[in-house]
Amino acid sequence: MQYFPLFVDTKELFVLIVGAGEVASRKLDLLARTDATIHVVAPQVAADVEAYANKGRIKLSRREVSIEDMSCYDLIYFATANEKLNTELAVIASEKGIWVNVVDNPKFCRFITPSIVDRGRLVVAISTAGAAPVFARTIRSRLETLLPNSLAPLFDYVASKREDVQQKLTNGKDRRLFWERFFNLNQDRFDTATDTHYQQAFSSYESRGEILLLDETTPACLLPIAVMPLLQKLDVVFIENDLDEHTNELLRRDASRESLPALSTISKQFELGDRMLLVASAEKVNQLKAHFPMAKHLRPGAI
């Protein structure tokens, strides 16, 4: 993974954009949605950039950029039509420890701006590490149709209720189960029924235990799509031997990873409502199937 995705708090972020043409305008359209302080420097300014200045959203300096400009900024975008100027200034800024982005030149980018699906508090970022931005836009268009606009007010509602849930449910696992039940009831809607679903989620948020079995030789790429939601709800992963890294990537990151325990321990945790994945050899999986007939065996193309 060449580029590690980060979500940065923009409340005290200072951004410089060098250039004010069409390309800079596209970057500004995204940045202007944030809380960042933005300064644009360019001798010629496109109408869209001018509009942001007239609204007071950005500081605009109508002149050539200077080396003195490149200080006290967290991020700098170089988006002039002069590629040589962009790269020369990027080297200088990088030497000052500033993160830079040279538009359409990944070699000189300390960071890149992904394709974004914006639903308020829910933000999805898609990147191909600069290799195929056109394909990233294709993925974005698919997600735009899958994620309704109702998610923006829904997550504002959820954020307003988090303190209430923390006060009523002091146990972290109980809170997680509560929110699972709420979203199962409410789905992705935000309407007059949302508050009713919120109240109903308190009445029954207990979880039934679940045991999933996986042969350690089963390739992660052959597991069916239907398995993925189950793997993201795990409380614990019990492993007989080393866990394959590709399989590990599919599992809930907060689920604990532990060595395969005695059968009595598995039974006890099942009764307590834990959702478990047991990863073991084919022989051991067959033994576990015989002992836990309620378990789901995850196999290539089937559950």
* pLDDT tens across the length of the chain (303 residues): 888 989 999 999 999 999 999 999 999 999 999 999 999 999 999 999 999 999 999 999 999 999 999 888 999 999 999 999 999 999 999 999 999 999 888 889 999 889 999 999 999 999 998 788 889 999 999 999 999 999 999 999 999 999 999 999 999 889 999 999 999 999 999 999 999 999 999 987 666 799 999 999 999 999 998 999 999 999 999 999 999 999 999 999 999 999 999 999 999 999 989 999 999 999 999 999 999 999 999 999 766
H helix intervals, 96-221: 133-146, 151-168, 172-186, 194-203
The whole-angstrom separation of Cα 167 and Cα 274 is 23
Residue 117 · residue 143 · CB < 8 Å: yes
* Ordered structural domains, the chain, with CATH: 1-113 (3.40.50.720), 116-147 (3.30.160), 151-203 (no CATH), 210-298 (3.40.1010)
What pLDDT was estimated at residue 206? 64
Tracing tokens 């509560």 back to the chain, one arrives at 178
pTM: 0.79
Residue 109 in tokens: 């980018």
253: region left, alpha or beta (phi > 0 left; psi from -120 to 50 alpha):
alpha
